Each structure stands twice: as structure tokens, then as C-alpha cells.
A = this chain, B = another copy of it.
């Protein structure tokens, strides 16, 4: 008999839901026990309900599972949520109120003051916000979130610099993969041979999430990091991997070799605790002049390592560089999974 913890997936048929299933297939701690999706899918075998868009096959046990109604009754106590924001806003509180640990990839609750927005290598201490949640007191349930897929790679690259040199200004321009928009998502007639210079609410998310993630836990809320932050978001004809052109100003001046060392040496709790999904090296600086590139580098560290490259002087701020992160692994399913692993290691999952 399995001694793994049973987990459920809300939004199991979408692109991120599929990544959860893929990443959980051989997970040492968790196993998929329950799947829910939209009404349309309810009651059907998963393999029929989902339009599977990954290169590996649907795990055999999951393929046969029946998609359950998206209600807490009968659901396991650990729930990975990959829902659209609007539905998440309705459903996630229901599951937390029912006593579930809701580990969410949705934007719905991210900026709520008592909900931790966490990248385990960056601000694992924010998890303590859970204790301030009313759900926690009443039912034991709670909600923890991870950032937007375009935020997470950026913040991983910023965190070690902020710790050592203190950020004053951040500007980021993204070139985001189509898988970030879900399925069916971006129409081929919209993106073949094209760039779309707009992704709804994405810039706002990147700006406010970055400051919360790098902010300071202060009792029952987080004081956002005080640096100025501006984002511009574009969609490009790439399947997986968000690329970002970044410029920063630092308070304490740094040499390029110090910045690169800050990236390559960066380790934190997930590495110290040997969490199963933690990459050995969260950030890898690539020395080739034309890297990182999404098609070749987004699978580094099984998609959990953020690649950085092209560090060079900026005429306006101090430094410019390129960041690449796998948007549905490190930027979504893997982000939530690592959050769950940290929660387990800290004793929040019973």
C-alpha cells in the first residue's frame, strides 16, 4: 500500500493541470488521487476529458481516473489548483474553508494580504502568513500561491542581487511562450510570423508580484520591496520558455564577476532540504554570448533552473541581462509543487 500523500488537482485538464500530472507521476511524496475540472469534463475518464498536449504519455492510472465535481466533498486534503482567476476566486476559498491545503497557481488570491506568494528559494519565510488566514483557524485549511509565469524567472534572477547589492530599479521586457496562455489559448493565425505586444493584466501582475516576493514579512502582511519596477509583456511564437530582457540599477555597486557569482552560488531552503523538485542549481549563468534561448535551454534542471546570460553594462541603469525560465514548469506546475514540498518539509501538510 502506498504511503504517499494523496493530492487532488483542480483544473486538471488544462495545460498547467497536465504539467501537474506529468510532474507528479513519479513523485516520492505525493500521488494524484483526485481530479476535477470544468462541468464539461465531470464524470468522464481523464484521458477523454483532457486534450493532452505533452510529449510524455498520460500516466496509465491517471488516464482512467474519472473527473470529479469541483467540490471539496470527497477531495483530498492537499489540492493543487490550476484554475482561471475568476473561477479560482470562487473555488479556492471553498476548499480552504473545507480544511484543504490549497497550493495555487492562480492569480486570484496572490495579492491578498494574508495569502503567501512564495518562491521557496526566495521568500519561504512568507509561508507563515498562513497562520493569519481565517480558514486556518476555523478548519485548518489554507491557501498558498506562486507567482505568475513571467514573474518567477525574473524574481529568481533578482533575488540574489537584491540580497547582496540591493535593487533600486528594475525594467523587464518579456517575450513569452504560447503555452503560457493555456489551451487552446493563442490562435495560430494570431502568432505565426508575429509578435503580440500585449498580454492582459500581465504587466501589472509582474510589477506588483515582484515587489511582494522581494518584500519583507511584517506581522500579518508583507511590506513590498521599495524599488521601482516596470514591465512590458509580449507574446512570441515559442512553445515553451519565457525570455526576458532585463535592466537594473543596484544601490551597492558590483563587479560583473560578483553578480555572476551571486547567481551561480545561489542556494536556499529547497536545496538545503533536498526537496524532490528543487533544482541543484536554481540559477545558471550561461557564458555563450547568445544564450539563454528558449528552444535549447528551457529544460535546464528539468525545467526548474532559471538561465541567465548576456550580463553587460547599461547606459541608463547599471546592468542589462537576459533571463529564461520554463513557464509551465518553474513558472507554474513546478512552482506550486515546490511550494507544496516546502510546506510538507515545514510540517504544514500534517
A contact set with B: CB distance below 8 Å: 15, 53-55, 169-171, 173, 175, 178-179, 183-198, 207, 228-230, 232, 234, 236-239, 243, 245, 247, 289-296, 299, 309-310, 314-317, 320, 322
Contacts and interface: CB of A to CB of B under 8 A. Distances in A.
A292 B228 CA distance: 27
A55 to B, nearest CB: 6
Given A195-B175, A197-B292, A197-B322, A189 B245 contact: no
A175 B196 CA distance: 11
B53 A315 contact: no
Nearest to A292: B197
Contacts of A291: 197
Contact of A192 (B188, B197, B229, B292): B188
A294 B295 CA distance: 16
A189 B178 contact: yes
Nearest to A317: B230
Given A228-B316, A237-B236, A315-B229, A187 B193 contact: no
B189 A243 contact: no
Contacts of A317: 230
A322 B196 CA distance: 10
A134 to B, nearest CB: 33
A55 B299 CA distance: 8
B314 A189 contact: no
Contacts of A289: 198
Given A187-B187, A189-B184, A192-B237, A197 B316 contact: no
Q: Which of A169, A207, A237, A289 is most buried by chain B, counting CB atoms within 10 A of its CB?
A: A237
Contacts of A294: 193-195
B237 A188 contact: yes
17 contacts: A54-B296, A55-B299, A173-B245, A186-B187, A187-B187, A188-B191, A188-B192, A192-B238, A194-B293, A194-B294, A194-B295, A195-B238, A197-B322, A230-B314, A232-B322, A236-B237, A237-B238
Q: Which of A184, A193, A290 is most buried by chain B, counting CB atoms within 10 A of its CB?
A: A193
Contacts of A196: 290, 293
B309 A197 contact: yes
Contacts of A185: 187-189
A104 to B, nearest CB: 23
A238 B193 contact: yes
Going nearest first, the 8 A-B pairs with the smallest beta carbon separation are A184-B187, A198-B290, A194-B295, A173-B173, A232-B245, A197-B322, A230-B316, A230-B315
B178 A175 contact: no
Given A169-B316, A173-B173, A315-B207, A189 B179 contact: yes
